[in-house]
Amino acid sequence: MAQGNLFDLTGKVAIITGSSRGIGKAIAERMAQHGAKVVISSRKAGPCEEVAAEINAAEGEGTAIAVPANISSKEDLQRLVAETRKAFGKVDIVVCNAASNPYYGPMAGIADDQFSKILSNNIISNHWLINEVIEEMKARKSGRVIIVSSIGGLRGSPVIGAYNISKAADFQLARNLAHEYGPDGITVNCIAPGLIKTDFAKALWDNPETLKRSTTTVPLRRIGEPDEIAGAAVFLAGPGGSFTTGQAIVCDGGATV
């Protein structure tokens, strides 16, 4: 029988964007719990430092660092990777979790700058960050790339259409990169959450009527918690996920079945 824990991340270094709250925070906490060094990153320094301090208190000093970065800035993402290497020496895992959705309504009403921002932050920023870490992963013949997409990328919507378009593109980004970097021992996958109880998705669950509409047809009859997405991320980052690449793992309580 094979030795070792399928979810052991000891000695690994993970960058998680959008990790000062919600799904990103849960992923960082769980990866740290499984032995990884984690880099907490979002736009504002204060919340990042708070999360890093919480993780260090729970898992031991030096487990987490905070490196604020705006995903819309290529220079910020370059600095994020540089600071990670300075602190931990390498990057083994990158989780592209941060995303934007500045518009809620029909496609006919979206402003050009809003549409551009959604596509840039949810697709191109992922491309930038992955490119910053991929060469060292190729040199090591080892690396894990995880993109947090959405079940929105699998279906239409009258109110979050542009966001869904960007999330569908993330599935294809993962498939393409899985092809390109598979020979180098790098896996690239998406996680596609359904409705999760986060501030980001608040418009979809905060109102009891909306919540009821959102969960009535879901087999599990409820919305998910950030931790339930973190489980998929730990799987994909660890030994257990080593033969999974180019995939979209759907975690949605059965909403899409």
- Report the candidate in 195, 197, 177, 173 with the shortest Cα–Cα distance to residue 187: 177
Chosen CATH of 13-251 out of 3.90.1300.10, 3.40.640.10, 3.40.50.720, 3.30.1540.10: 3.40.50.720
Query: 66-85: per-residue pLDDT in tens?
Result: 999 999 999 999 999 999 99
For the chain, how far is it from start to end, CA to CA, in angstroms?
Answer: 35
C-alpha span between 164 and 160 (Å, rounded): 6
Q: Is 255 exposed, middle or buried (0-12, 13-18, 19+ CB in 10 A)?
A: buried
Q: What is the rounded distance in angstroms from the CA atom of residue 146 to the CA atom of residue 173?
A: 11
- What pLDDT sits at residue 139? 98
Q: Which is nearest to 226 in space by CA: 234, 218, 217?
A: 234
Q: How far apart are CA 9 and CA 221, in angstroms?
A: 33
CB 141 within 8 A of CB 173: no
Domain residue ranges of the chain, discontinuous segments joined by +: 13-251
Q: Which residues are catalytic?
A: 163
Other Cβ atoms less than 10 A from the Cβ of 78: the count is: 15
Helix H segments across the chain? Answer: 22-33, 45-59, 74-88, 112-119, 125-140, 161-181, 202-205, 208-215, 226-237
pLDDT at 214: 82
3-state secondary structure (DSSP) of residue 156: coil
User: Do the Cβ atoms of 162 and 102 come closer than 8 Å?
Assistant: no
CA dihedral sign of residues 214, 148, 202, 27: positive
- The angle subtended at Cα 11 by Cα 170 and Cα 63, nearest 5°, is 85
Model's pTM, two decimal places? 0.96
What does the buried/exposed string (b/e) look like for 162-192 if buried means 16 or more CB atoms within 10 Å of the residue's CB? bbbbbbbbbbebbbebbeebeeeebbbbbbb
Closest listed residue to residue 68, CA positions, set 4, 12, 134, 19:
19
Q: How far apart are CA 93 and CA 36, in angstroms?
A: 9
Q: Which two tokens stand for residue 193?
A: 């959450």
Which parts of the chain have pLDDT scores under 50?
A: 1
